[in-house]
Chains A and B, each alone.
Chain A
Amino acid sequence: EPEVTQTPSHQVTQMGQEVILRCVPISNHLYFYWYRQILGQKVEFLVSFYNNEISEKSEIFDDQFSVERPDGSNFTLKIRSTKLEDSAMYFCASSEGREASETQYFGPGTRLLVL
């Protein structure tokens, strides 16, 4: 069964450093998403991406964040200058379409720790 994959599974970085989190969505999916979950809190929507551009973003997704689809398979989330509060589990997801009933398929997540 096709699945979303994410690398790395864990990342430790120093405050102020740049990190890139990588995702490979399911191959025939057209919509891609990033969510995050700060420890003990809810899973929160960050951004969605379609047709090589951001479709919508939440208020969390500020100028420190960017997303890119550098080739036909990868989908990346970049945090330019990490802050302590960026420590969280980051989930990538993809879906075939954008209807309300569409299932979003999630990857296993990348646990980011900013020191």
Chain B
Amino acid sequence: GDSVTQMEGPVTLSEEAFLTINCTYTATGYPSLFWYVQYPGEGLQLLLKATKADDKGSNKGFEATYRKETTSFHLEKGSVQVSDSAVYFCALSTKLDTGRRALTFGSGTRLQVQP
């Protein structure tokens, strides 16, 4: 079945450092790919998404490119801030037997940014 693999956390960075969180996937067909973020005490919020190969999703300085050839969707940010401290989830839309979709999530990566 479909699956998403994320790098283990926590990832600890200093403010203004460069961030990469790796995400690779296994899926049949052509899923859409998502990054969700969960700030402490809050729900999952969509950070960005890409719906086809070579698409780049971006938001709040974060970006990720849908790489079909390497089945990857790595999250990057050039300069992290303390306020970026959160758990980041990579996800893909899985096509179910009915033809409809559900999200398949990675295990989440906790990012801690220190001042």
Contacts and interface: CB of A to CB of B under 8 A. Distances in A.
Interface residues of A, number: 27
Contacts of B41: 108
Interface residues of B, number: 30
Interface in B24-61: 30-32, 34, 36, 41-46, 49, 51
A105 B31 contact: no
A45 B49 contact: no
A100 B106 contact: no
Contacts of B100: 48, 55-56, 98
Given A43-B105, A56-B100, A98-B100, A103 B49 contact: yes
A41 interface: yes
A96 B70 CA distance: 31
Given A33-B102, A105-B46, A106-B43, 9 more contacts: A35-B105, A42-B106, A42-B107, A45-B94, A55-B100, A100-B32, A100-B51, A101-B49, A103-B46
